[in-house]
Amino acid sequence: MKSYLAAAVQMTSVPRLDANLAQAEDLIQLAVNRGAELVSLPENFSFLGDEEAKRLQAAEIAEQSEKFLKTMAQRYQITILGGGFPVPATPGKFYNTALLVGPQGEELARYHKIHLFDVNLPDGNTYQESDSVVAGKELPPVYRSETLGNLGLSVCYDVRFPELYRHLSQNGANVLFIPAAFTAFTGKDHWQVLIQARAIENTCYVIAAAQVGTHHLRRQSHGHAMIVDPWGTILADAGNTPGVAIADIQPARLEQVRRQMPSLQHIIWSCTVPQ
């Protein structure tokens, strides 16, 4: 693993595939121009709109999203994560899929989101992701790169399930992707603290791409795409407008934190309950 620059992209995606891909390319180019070698796009980067419209267009969105990621990776010679886009699964439903692509346009890892956002929020909004999305059946993979580190995948709502990230860190991850489209209501209270918690408890870097602003009449996202180091320090924050958060990923810093705070070595997986 070497030192390198990573970028967490922040977008305001809308219900238009072509417009979203154009916006994503502009932000990827911005990140590359600033030296980024590893780039993450947020959840729903290629389409954020009505779920029925997404369902009807899922096959096209999937095809164009995958083609786009491979083209961008090759064109800019980067490793890129497409944080979440629909891939047809069963009739009328799709997976929420994260795809990691290497500089030659090759697929490196794929993950179908396993935790679906089915909630009734205090602000009156109800989200029922399972109405249109099929939950993945496998825990996310860790892609091992000699240059970029061991990259663990996840998507948005996964961030509330620490056991998933413990799985990733125990399988060698030292850089965690958490691409998201966090709601404005939950994001203001939970986004930053959850990102920092996942970094601290696993002594990993976290690259958290995000959606921001108003996407359509009923959907608004929190923003604040960020990169956090293994101590929980926020290295970059994209704020509340489209843009990129860029920061150094440093193996020396990773080793320092894990040496000073060796909590991963102190995990107790079982114990005897007193009788």
**Which one of the listed residues 37, 43, 66, 204 is annotated catalytic?**
43
Contact residues for 28 (Cβ-Cβ < 8 A; gap 6+) = 9, 39, 41, 72, 76, 78, 80
Catalogue the long-range contacts made by 162-165 (C-beta closer than 8 Å, 24 or more residues apart). 162/197, 162/198, 162/201, 164/114, 164/115, 164/139, 164/140, 165/198, 165/201, 165/202, 165/204
Q: Which DSSP symbol is given to 9? A: E
What is the identity of the amino acid at 181? A
Handedness of CA 73, 7, 176, 147 (dihedral sign): positive
What is the identity of the amino acid at 142? V
Q: Is 113 a catalytic residue?
A: yes
SS3 133: strand
Return the structure tokens found at 212. Answer: 């921001």
Q: Is 37 a catalytic residue?
A: no
**Which one of the listed residues 37, 66, 70, 113 is annotated catalytic?**
113
**Which one of the listed residues 54, 66, 156, 204 is annotated catalytic?**
156
Contact residues for 147 (Cβ-Cβ < 8 A; gap 6+) = 1, 2, 4
244: closest CA among 21, 30, 19? 30
Q: In what order do the strands lie in the sheet with 234-237?
A: 142-145, 149-152, 175-177, 205-208, 226-228, 234-237
228: closest CA among 40, 102, 73? 40
Return the structure tokens found at 72. Answer: 């961008």
Active site residues: 43, 113, 156
